[in-house]
Amino acid sequence: MADVKISGLHKRFGPFHAVQGIDLEIADGEFTVLVGPSGCGKSTLLRTIAGLEGISEGTIEIGGEVVNDMRPRDRDVAMVFQDYALYPHLTVERNIGFGLRARKMPADEIGRRVGRVAGMLGITPLLGRYPRQLSGGQRQRVAIGRAIVREPQIFLFDEPLSNLDAQLRDEMRGEIKRLHQDIATTMIYVTHDQIEAMTLADRIVLMRDGRIEQMGSPAELFERPVSLFVAGFLGSPRMSFLPGSVTRVDGKAGILVDGRETPLPLPAGRIPDATEVGTRVLLGLRPEHVVRAREEGAGLGTVRIEAPLELLQPTGSRTFATFRLGDAQAVAELQAHDVGSAGETIGLEINLNRASVFDAQTERAL
């Protein structure tokens, strides 16, 4: 078993409070991604699990055993770093087998394991090379191989792909996902890249200022963000936030976006019944919540508007179109063949079933 249980964890660096009370349970075999802006404490949290950083308060359990005072090498975890941390004077084969030799494993067993892992990662032809003779992607594969070969209870990844170019990063991301599918070992992965978080995670832990802001499946965080911070962090292009206030006509709630004359009607139950008329809110619309209006009329919970297109950003298959709604701007996602031209006014359909509404003062979702 290699579940991880973190309770009441704090980490201070002198007066600086980097991790401010984390409670987190990670199931055996789960792929958890710690994500958040620079400085939010995600690497520090990972390093405390690895034992590379002591803790100020709280407990960390691995497989049911408290490891607070256990040395890193006794925790049976393997960590893959951003800078690969390979030994420059050793060949790929010796780099991968290093940890096993240190544990005095018989040479034939080491050879077998290194061979199998190299095969898995497609680096068998590189076994005789030195790190300086490898590309960035190949080096990262070797670093991952060195972690896998130890067959640890838990893998910890600290931004392993951030030194790679975009194409290689996509490729390696797929390989890490496949690796998890193949070996089903618990993995905890730190990144500030929301795409890595969305594509790799069974569960995302989104951190802010040393605390957990929200955790859940990628779909949960994406579809039901608890705050403006979460909504703005995930998704590209970003969610648009339109200031306005709550209205009620014949008992039906709506949002009057600043600068517009008619409120956008909200589907029943979309905001709590007790929300007062006039409450200042931000309506959160993702690009995919706004599409080209269909001929046959708007669906349930959607509203049709006419809006001038201000900026078009084609991506090939789709085009992101910035349009004006009242005093604010939002982005619509159009199919490539649907697009008008900048300056033109077109019919758009806003799906308010999926939109988010945030209290403008607390920045929490209503």
Distance CA 33, CA 183 (A): 17
* 40 scored as a contact of ligand ATP (CB under 6 A): yes
* Min dist. Cβ of residue 210 to ligand ATP (A): 7
Task: Out of 9, 42, 212, 228, point to the residue binding ligand ATP (CB under 6 A).
Answer: 42
Q: Beta strand pairing status for 186-191 and 154-158?
A: parallel
Cβ-based nearer residue to ligand ATP, 42 or 150: 42
Nearer to ligand ATP, 169 or 192 (CB): 192
Query: Do residues 272 and 358 lie in contact, with contact meaning Cβ atoms separated by under 8 Å?
Result: no
Which span sits near ligand ATP by CB under 6 A: 12-20, 84-92, 101-109, 196-204? 12-20
Within 179-198, which residues bind ligand ATP (CB under 6 A)? 192
9 or 117: CB nearest ligand ATP:
9
Which of 21, 29, 39, 111 binds ligand ATP (CB under 6 A)? It is 39
Report the C-alpha gap between 258 and 278 in whole angstroms: 12
Identify residues 17-36 at the interface with ligand ATP (CB under 6 A): 18, 36
Q: Which C-beta is closer to ligand ATP: that of 43 or that of 138?
A: 43
Q: Which of 13, 103, 133, 151 binds ligand ATP (CB under 6 A)?
A: 13
Q: Contact, 200 vs 155, CB < 8 A? A: no
Write phi, then psi, for 4 (nearest 5 degrees).
-125, 135
The helix (H) or strand (E) run that includes residue 156 is strand 154-158
Applying CB under 6 A, among 38, 167, 317, 361 the residue interacting with ligand ATP is 38
Residues binding ligand ATP: what is the number (CB under 6 A)? 12
Closest to ligand ATP by CB, 29 or 39: 39
* Cβ at position 201, least distance to ligand ATP in Å: 16
Beta carbons within 10 angstroms of residue 16's beta carbon: 8
Whether the Cβ atoms of residue 4 and residue 60 lie closer than 8 Å to each other = yes
CB of 151 to ligand ATP, least distance (A): 27
Distance of closest approach, residue 50 Cβ to ligand ATP, in angstroms: 12
Strand segments, DSSP code E, in the chain are 4-13, 16-26, 31-35, 57-62, 65-66, 77-80, 154-158, 186-191, 203-208, 211-216, 240-249, 252-257, 264-265, 280-285, 290-292, 302-314, 318-325, 328-335, 345-351, 356-359
The contact mask relative to ligand ATP for 67-86 (x = CB under 6 A, - = no) is --------------------
Residue 146 touches ligand ATP, criterion: CB under 6 A: no
Least gap, CB of 326 to ligand ATP (angstroms): 36
Contacts of range 14-21, beta carbons closer than 8 Å, 24 or more positions apart: 17/210, 18/44, 18/210, 19/44, 19/45, 19/48, 19/210, 20/209, 20/210, 20/211, 21/58, 21/210, 21/211
Please report whether residue 43 would count as binding ligand ATP according to CB under 6 A. yes
Residue 41 engages ligand ATP in binding (rule: CB under 6 A): yes
Binding site for ligand ATP (CB under 6 A): 13, 16, 18, 36, 38-44, 192
